[in-house]
Structures are given as structure tokens and as C-alpha cells.
Amino acid sequence: MSYQPVVAIAGVTGAVGAEFIATMNRRNFPVRKLKALASARSAGNTVDFRGEKIVIEELTERSFEGVDIALFSAGGSISRKFAPAAVKAGAVVVDNSSAFRMDPNVPLVIPEINAGRIRDHKGIIANPNCSAITALVPLWPIHKANRIKRVILSTYQAASGAGAAAMEELVESTRAYLDGRPFTPKVIPLPYAFNVFSHNTAIDPETGYNDEETKVIKETRKIFEDDRIAIGVTCVRVPVLRAHCEAITFECEKPIDEHEVRAILSNAPGVRIVDDRAKNCFPMPIDASGQDDVLVGRIREDLSDASGHSISMFVSADQLLKGAALNAIQIAELLPQNAMA
């Protein structure tokens, strides 16, 4: 961008809010002025931004006067309440919640896939679900070369997906477990330390799918603009602080082998192949943490499909970066100046 926008961050004190600031700094995102917005209890505190102490203001409907870009990561209810006010004030909202993702008038954007949809915005652009982003960045270039007709994926989701408080709760509950002390969870309503459990979102009593799984299904079809894709997904939380992993098996319309997949992904934006069978070196959250790319490995033919149309792989990505803050900043970087009004 050749101009210097005024940027507001709604939810600046959260885990993603902190990553918004760090990512803007790392990518030299041009900012004329930063407005730090949060709840009333955080108002008056400060955040560091490029050598300055920015005083946090209470988020209200009057917070967006003079703002060009508003980055939201404060939850769906907050986005639904305040994003329209930001748009009315003249800002373009990049929203990290699920509030607007399936609105047909709101672009749902992963820049490596459908950056062209940014120009269709009417004031709000939605950031996809972190699990969807993690899967779709590597699946898209394959889909372009050989249409994917079916996907089965299982997620291994870190505490970072539930925010800074959940990350702290994982640390504290693990410490209590090792010390032999009782621990009462407050953020995640299930024992987290040394445990694995179904993603803690509401389950549809009819389908048996939880909200996270339903998001992945619907968002994949919207982003790929292909309602025919068959998708099965199981979302699970694991006791990892940061960076999600996913086991993915996909079926293409035409035969495909692992060598084709490696060739496609070796040149794919936002993807890094980590696939050393000899050293048993594959994507891990400890390596994905702090990285912009989606790590992809365990690329192999699906032996359950004798037709040769299916591939299995394992991926990992930083939920706070590509799964949230980085994707939003990439969208903001691509906002053409004539689309800001």
C-alpha cells in the first residue's frame, strides 16, 4: 500500500490482538496511527507499538471515526455489534470471528486462494476458521490441478485456538497435574492437561457434528466456490499450547500420485514441505509455531483407495498467525486504495 492508513484493533489485549501488532511490525505494514480497542476493564492500560505506548480505549460504536482499517478479533457477538458501526464510519473491517463468514455479501478470503474476492467487499471481509485455513492453503493448488471431490480430515487443535486464557489454563492445569494438586477448569470445561477431547463447541443433535466441524465444511465450499465437495471432519483439542495439526486424506477426480503432489506443493505459496521419511521428520506444532507457512508432510498414496485417486498427508500451522492474524494482515495489505471508501 502506498498510503498510511489509520488502523484500529478491536480485541487488542487478546492472543490474536497481540499477533496483529507483532505481524504488522514484522511485515512493515504502513500505519499512520494505531487505535487500540478493548473492553472497559482494559481501558487506560497500554500496548507497545513501534516505540510508542498506545493507550487502550474502551471499544464503543464511536471508536472508529477516522479509521481506515479495523481488525476485529474479539468474538462473534462483539463483531456483530460493532463492525457495522465501523463500516458506517468509513472503515473496512477484517473480521476474525465467525459472525459474517457465511453471509453471501461478505467475502471469505484466504489471499493465497481467492484474493480477488477482496474487491467484492461492502465494508466487511471475513477471515476463515483457523482449521479451514490450515487445510485449504495446501489443498487449493492441488484442487486447481486436479479437482478434489472428497476430503476427510481430523484436527489436532492447540489451546491457542481458544485464546490466551485457554493457553494459560493449559499451563496451570499441567503444573497442577504434575504437582498432584486438584485443578478446576474455568475456560475449557474439560480436563486439559494430558488429555485429548472433542472440540469444545456445541454439537448439532441431528448431525452429531460440532460447530467447528460445520464451519470447516461450509467455509471450504464457499472459499473453493464448489458446493459439490464431500467433506468429513472430526475436530479434536490436544494439550499443545500453539499451532494446529491436521491429518488429511483427499480424493481427486483423476488419478494422482505422491510425486505429483510434492511437485505441486513445492511451488505453492504459503506452503513448506517437511517430509523426510529417512529421518522421520514431519510437521510438528513445535516447528510450526511462529512460522508463516503451513508445514506439509507424510505425503503418501492412500492405500485404501485402489483406484489411485487419493492421497494422505499431515499438516501443521500456527493458529495465531496464518490461522488468524497473518491472514488478516495479508488481506489488509491487498486492500486497494480505491476500495477503502
The predicted-structure confidence for 38-69, as pLDDT tens digits, reads as follows 999 999 999 999 999 999 999 999 999 999 99
Kindly state whether residues 41 and 167 are assigned to the same domain.
no
Provide the b/e sequence for 248-257 (b: ≥16 CB within 10 Å).
Answer: bbbbbeeebe
Q: How confident is the model at residue 341 (pLDDT cuts 50, 70, 90)?
A: very low
Kindly state whether residues 246 and 305 are assigned to the same domain.
yes
Please indicate, yes or no, if residue 311 is contained in any of the structural domains: yes
Kindly state whether residues 202 and 56 are assigned to the same domain.
no
Please indicate, yes or no, if residue 305 is contained in any of the structural domains: yes
CATH of the domain at 94: 3.40.50.720
Please indicate, yes or no, if residue 1 is contained in any of the structural domains: no
Please indicate, yes or no, if residue 16 is contained in any of the structural domains: yes
Using CA of residue 166, residue 167, residue 171, residue 177, what is the dihedral sign? Answer: positive
What pLDDT does 3 receive?
78
Please indicate, yes or no, if residue 200 is contained in any of the structural domains: yes
First and final CA of the chain: distance in angstroms? 15
Kindly state whether residues 61 and 141 are assigned to the same domain.
no
Alpha carbon 44 to its chain centroid, in Å, reads 29
Give the residue numbers spanning the domain of 287: 132-319
Instruction: Tell me what the pLDDT averaged over the chain comes to.
Output: 96
AA letter at 172: E
Strand 69-72: give its sheet, edge to edge: 46-49, 52-58, 33-38, 6-10, 69-72, 92-95, 124-126
- Annotated active-site positions, please? 130, 244
Q: How many domains does the chain have?
A: 2
H runs (alpha helix) in the chain: 15-26, 76-88, 111-114, 130-145, 164-179, 211-224, 258-266, 285-288, 326-334
Kindly state whether residues 111 and 140 are assigned to the same domain.
no
Kindly state whether residues 200 and 87 are assigned to the same domain.
no
Kindly state whether residues 178 and 269 are assigned to the same domain.
yes
Kindly state whether residues 23 and 159 are assigned to the same domain.
no
Kindly state whether residues 90 and 29 are assigned to the same domain.
yes
CATH of the domain at 137: 3.30.360.10
Please indicate, yes or no, if residue 288 is contained in any of the structural domains: yes
- Residue 330 CA neighbour count, 13 Å, CB half: 22
Residue 1, pLDDT above cutoff 70: no
Please indicate, yes or no, if residue 41 is contained in any of the structural domains: yes
Alpha carbon 118 to its chain centroid, in Å, reads 17
Spatial distance between the Cα atoms of 1 and 340, rounded to a whole number of angstroms: 11
Q: pTM to 2 decimals?
A: 0.94
